[in-house]
Structure 1
Amino acid sequence: MAKDIGIDLGTANVLINVKGEGIVLNEPSVVAVDTSNNEVVAVGTEAYEMVGRTPGNIQVIRPLEDGVISDFKTTESMLNYFLGKLNLGTRFSKPNIMICCPADVTSVEQRAIIEAAEKAGAKKVYLEFEPKVAAVGAGMDIFKPQGNLVIDIGGGTSDIAVLSMGSIVTSNSLRLAGDKLNADIQNYIKQKYNLMIGERTAEIIKMQVGTAYDPDPNAKLSLSGRDLMTGLPREIQISEVEVEEALHESLYAIIDATKGVLEVTPPELAADIIDRGVMLTGGGSLLKGIDKLFSKELQIPVFLADQPLDSVALGTGILLDHVVNK
């Protein structure tokens, strides 16, 4: 028998949760394609290693943008590769698949996600909204008549949702998350130092000296890039203070969107949220001090999920049991 599986189809990473086994795959959502014959050269971790380092005929593609499919054929190839690697189904038995999407996804985008999963070998496809799944995966009991607020900061989207009785009451989805924070760092260094750095370098800066609150002026990182005036490699040092400045605008956009969601939340649920606090999930929530910044600005306790990167994938496993065994 094929096992039921949950897929967190993220802009930055794909995570697969197999029933009874837990999370068995976590790889970047990246595909390397040879443009001369349109053949897939590498997928996942192997393709990510090629970012910024390929010859002209090899193109490294992210088939998902802002949490939705931008390149259907490549997404299908990627899912086929990952599911084939796990060898989950047989010719006679196909798995049920639960797959996640941002809260504001259109019906056309939903259809594209379902079709990609069906072509990759699903028996039945269940589609769920990311903030709901992330809340369940983070250990929140969203099925009671009480307000729960979750902020899921992924690679392409930040989903903010108030949940009660198993459904989303109010929500907002911003096409602004981890990838945008990387771009903010790249732009800041380009403007301040006249230095061009790659996406992977920006990600390293964010992870090592990225902070959202109370930066340490002594925390610095050396990095190299291409000087825009001379075209030659050059090394600089960047501090936590500078990275906090680079990320400031985008982080406050997420805070403002959260305030907007709270403003239209029914008063009883809003009162629950003041008591219960906010749950942060997704890779973006690992940014140092982000819980303190959000707590200060929202004036509500803010908690980081135990496994923020895995919350959506873990939630698919729990919800899949819920819908398949109904």
Structure 2
Amino acid sequence: MAFKFLNLWSTDIGIDLGTANSLIHVRGKGIVVNEPSIIALDEETDKVVAIGNEAREMLGRTHRDIITIRPLKDGVIADFEATEIMMRELIRKANINRMLIGKIVVDVPSGITEVEKRAVRDSAERAGAREVHLVAEAMAAAIGVGLDIGQPVGNMIVDIGGGTSEIAVISLNGIVHHSSIRVGGDEMNLAIMQYFKKNYNLLIGEKTAEHIKCTIGSATPLAEEIRTEVKGRDLVDGIPKTIEVSSVEIREALEEAIGTIIDAVKVALERTPPELASDILDRGIVLTGGGALLKNLDERMREDTSLPIHVAEDPLTCVVRGCGKILEDFERYEKVLLKHRRM
């Protein structure tokens, strides 16, 4: 009886615990938190100084007593304690009473190990969840986009996140083929940083690299190429320096990461059963995740695969919207959740 009473007043939440951004969806309310997955801590006291956007502003600008941590790397938990703190603080930001949390649905990459799954479950439980359910990231993205995953029809999803790119062929509420490569937005940022180091002897920060990627990065030539000024530290004489670069150079820097993602998509297509492959030929590939926002990526993928490519509406939130839909109609989607294996 007490359990039923708790269920009546409990808050069910969906969490997209991403390498770059973390989002929270509250059942009945929608997306209430969308913040970078960064936390700033006082090194002496371990107290939280800032989280999300505030912590991101501190990247590369802190003194020795404050450290900024990105608790997730390549789509999985790299720092367990920091992840737990971040999850707890994000839930607090969403104005959710931890004592009233019921179910939490969290997405995870398809290539995740049982140990890594356990770490996600433990973090969610310590954040206050009574029930923790995991769902494959690509499956959550497909549900969030609105694909009818229950039909005997092939759907291909490519979810390009910060740490990983998830590629999956989905039919009859299950994943027929999946691959997870540890190449995403972070790898693109790193490629830009290395490009400046190698070609201009200029050291730039991760935040600057991401800004360059978002503003002038592209996968194919632009109708009108863009130029922008970049500030960094000269590695030869150690003083601050400004240079001007074009979108052509940034495209060159991103080529390897983009090529790796497209090659993985081609391999997935080769391994897809012929009947489902013919469905994908008709229906095309759906791009989700922040990486889908890279200029002309859909055009480049269309050229390389000769398939229709569709960028999802608001690709950044597809996964957490999928987690939210699972909570809204739990009985219908329960079969798509990952089974919990005791270790």
Shorter-chain TM range is over 0.9
On the 8 A contact 1:147/1:273 being kept in 2, the answer is yes
Q: Which residue matches 2:265?
A: 258
Distance 2:208 2:222 in 1: 20
Distance 1:86 1:228 in 2: 43
Pair 1:197-2:204 in alignment: yes
> Helix, strand or coil for the counterpart of 2:169?
strand
Q: Which residue matches 2:94?
A: 86
TM-score, normalisation: structure 1: 0.97
On the 8 A contact 2:184/2:291 being kept in 1, the answer is yes
Pair 1:272-2:279 in alignment: yes
User: 54-63 vs 35-44, which deviates more?
Assistant: 35-44
On the 8 A contact 1:2/1:88 being kept in 2, the answer is no
Distance 1:71 1:102 in 2: 17
After the TM superposition, list the runs of 4 or more consecutive aligned residues in structure 1 that deviate by more than 3 angstroms. 215-218
Identity %: 48
Q: Which residue matches 1:58?
A: 66
Pair 1:74-2:92 in alignment: no
On the 8 A contact 1:97/1:125 being kept in 2, the answer is yes
Letter in 1 for 2:21: N
Q: Which residue matches 1:157?
A: 164
CA RMSD for the aligned pairs? 1.3
Q: 2:187 aligns with which of 176, 180, 185?
A: 180
Distance 1:172 1:29 in 2: 24
Distance 1:178 1:22 in 2: 25
On the 8 A contact 2:98/2:128 being kept in 1, the answer is no
Q: 2:36 aligns with which of 25, 28, 36?
A: 28
Consecutive unaligned residues of structure 1, counting only runs of 5 or more, are none
Q: Which residue matches 1:38?
A: 46
Letter in 2 for 1:64: L
> Helix, strand or coil for the counterpart of 1:235?
strand
TM-score, normalisation: structure 2: 0.92
- Residue 45 of structure 1: how far off its partner (Å): 1.3
- Residue 123 of structure 1: how far off its partner (Å): 1.4
> Helix, strand or coil for the counterpart of 2:218?
coil
Pair 1:13-2:21 in alignment: yes
- Residue 38 of structure 1: how far off its partner (Å): 2.5
- Residue 266 of structure 1: how far off its partner (Å): 0.6
Q: Which residue matches 2:338?
A: none
Letter in 2 for 1:185: I
- Report how many residues are paired: 325
Q: Which residue matches 2:176?
A: 169
Pair 1:145-2:152 in alignment: yes
Distance 2:43 2:223 in 1: 45
- Residue 264 of structure 1: how far off its partner (Å): 1.0
- Residue 219 of structure 1: how far off its partner (Å): 0.9
On the 8 A contact 1:294/1:302 being kept in 2, the answer is yes
